[in-house]
Amino acid sequence: MAGIEWLKPGVFFGSILFALIGVAIFWLCFVIIDKLTPYDLWAEIIEKKNMALAIVVGAMCIAIGLIVSSAVQG
């Protein structure tokens, strides 16, 4: 029965809650970093096709995701 431990409502909804909190924190961090930069990241990447900036932003997203994941897991 230990294999279906995650099906218990408390565990399931707790996981959903932590996932939503993690996504919200990730989004908030990205918005803050976007506001701190001197230009619009989205326009620079999509409209001007700035590949170097896209790689840096992708690495930043991975780093923020790892930090949020570690913080949520405890």
**pLDDT score of 44 more than 80:** yes
pLDDT tens-digit readout, 1-33 = 556 776 778 877 888 888 888 889 888 988 898
Domain containing 39: what range? Answer: 11-73
Helix axes 51-73 and 9-36, enclosed angle (nearest 10): 140
Total count of domains within the chain: 1
In a domain, 6, yes or no: no
In a domain, 1, yes or no: no
Count the neighbouring beta carbons within 10 Å of the beta carbon of residue 27: 12
Q: What's the pTM value of the predicted model, to 2 decimals?
A: 0.68
Long-range contacts of residues 41-48, Cβ cutoff 8 Å, at least 24 apart: none
In a domain, 69, yes or no: yes
In a domain, 23, yes or no: yes
